[in-house]
Amino acid sequence: MLYLRPKPRSGAAPLPAEPVDLGVNDSYTTVPGLPVSLGQVLDQDTSNLAAQTRGFKSSKKRGQTLGNYQEVRARHFQSLVRRYINEGANT
């Protein structure tokens, strides 16, 4: 998970948070500073993604087919991430 926040308009930007590495079977509810309820949602999402991956692997068709709406959102997200990374490298 990666959480991005805008820089404050004034003052110094906060220091980056310390990363927390979780193993495949670790629960997000154990992450310090993360509300337990959000950890439970992330655990459920991770479980759903694992089930989707198993489904993809058992399918004759390889890969995932997204509708145009989802594809546009995914491309836009990736574009924003690249832009934020590039802007951060230039500051």
> CA 83 to CA 6: how far, in whole Å?
13
- From the list 29, 30, 33, the residue with the least C-alpha distance to 17 is 33
Each residue's pLDDT tens digit, 68-78: 777 888 889 99
Number of domains in the chain: 1
Contacts of 29 (CB under 8 A, 6+ apart): 36, 39, 40, 43
pTM, 2 dp: 0.54
Residue 75 lies in a domain: yes
Each residue's pLDDT tens digit, 19-62: 999 998 899 999 998 899 999 999 999 898 888 888 877 777 76
Residue 82 lies in a domain: yes
Residue 51 lies in a domain: no
Residue 3 lies in a domain: no
Residue 16 lies in a domain: no
Domain span holding position 81: 67-91
